[in-house]
Structure 1
């Protein structure tokens, strides 16, 4: 039986690295992107362009209700991007990964996929509670029970730093692709981004650290 996977895909550094990883691991791969009212529609375009270039079947699901329930800096121009010590960043979206992975599981079952791949990470994760390994393992059990289906949620980046994520992309032969064609920036700038937002700073630090030791 062919192994099939669904990759939760935003078109960013992490999910694109996961997409390349999945393409190596599984016989068939499809990607799912969620439209939750994010400020930068370029994120959706970027994801679609990458999927098309890699010949990956791409699903886009409407999750606009999430923006209505949980206003945040990723969807609202009137909320500043702020990350204060001891507090969740304003970019955190309550329930996002819970809902994304749940809907990805529904899709996966319909297309006969057992694996759901996500780029969540507990090492460089900005304090988001829904990126923790314990959450993913808990949800994995819940989804299996809820649908009576043996899903496996794969998290290839869970224990990697951003530096190590760049290294993985390089090992997968995707370093230049990930660097030049992904969108991580909170200000909607592809590739190296604005250089000022928290996402760009984290990405750039990891990249610079990796380039210092890259052969």
Structure 2
């Protein structure tokens, strides 16, 4: 069998978590050449960057960049040290929300994508099983796409946009797990816990959503089997 020809390039926002890893595998299956973008933004759970590096290496990304941008310098989120990470569900938008983080990340991803003449930017947000963050909604992505188009020289001069691909936007996390297993994702290599450490805390919002996804998918989480 001859190697599959790859022609389209995608910048994928790769956190090292369950969703973004599955997205990377999906794009790889569709034949995209992958350019990974991860962020060291002052998060407590830098363990996720280790996972992102391992995944980028395993999938043979054309390039994987880790960008440092200090969102902790003004705080505003328990993920960057402003208060304790909640151990129980809370009403409203939780304190783990990092102010407009996805807007910042997408803007940098689009700058990267335009510089390398990529065909798409991909992000693994979902507005189904999520913590209620406003920058994970379809309404935000639609408005962001319009702004990105207007800011892009490529779009202004040629009409060629760099689309934001968000295939999991309306997909339950359990379905993402099932898809990932079909694609061959080893979820033991991913990291979701907001607290970092050696093992998942199984108390934070991200751990609870992950546990719910594996339970609904009817399979054990291999990360907890180690």
Shift of 1:189: 4.8
Check the 8 A contact 1:34/1:61 in 2, yes or no. yes
Aligned positions, number:
205
For the residues of structure 1 that align with 2:32 and 2:58, how far apart are their CA atoms? 18
Shift of 1:26: 3.6
Structure 1: which 5+ residue stretches go unaligned?
none
Q: Does 1:143 align with 2:148?
A: yes
Check the 8 A contact 1:81/1:89 in 2, yes or no. no
Q: Does 1:88 align with 2:93?
A: yes
* Partner deviation per Cα, 1:30-77 (whole Å, 9 max, x = no partner): 10001101113222222112212221120111111x22234311111x
For the residues of structure 2 that align with 1:102 and 1:47, how far apart are their CA atoms? 20
Q: Does 1:199 align with 2:206?
A: yes
Structure 2: which 5+ residue stretches go unaligned?
1-5, 156-160, 220-226
After superposing on structure 2, the runs of 4+ consecutive aligned residues of structure 1 that deviate more than 6 Å are none
Alignment-derived partner of residue 156 in structure 1? 167
- Aligned to 2:79, what secondary structure does the other structure show? coil
The 5-angstrom pairing of residues 165-184 of structure 1 reads 165-174=176-185, 177=186, 179-184=187-192
For the residues of structure 2 that align with 1:2 and 1:138, how far apart are their CA atoms? 28
The 5-angstrom pairing of residues 1-215 of structure 1 reads 2-56=7-61, 57-64=63-70, 66-76=71-81, 79-82=83-86, 83-85=89-91, 87-148=92-153, 149=155, 150-174=161-185, 177=186, 179-189=187-197, 193-211=200-218
Check the 8 A contact 2:15/2:52 in 1, yes or no. yes
For the residues of structure 2 that align with 1:199 and 1:28, how far apart are their CA atoms? 29
- TM-score w.r.t. length of structure 1: 0.89
Check the 8 A contact 2:55/2:189 in 1, yes or no. yes
- TM-score w.r.t. length of structure 2: 0.85
Check the 8 A contact 1:119/1:155 in 2, yes or no. yes
- Aligned to 1:116, what secondary structure does the other structure show? strand
C-alpha RMSD of the superposition: 1.7
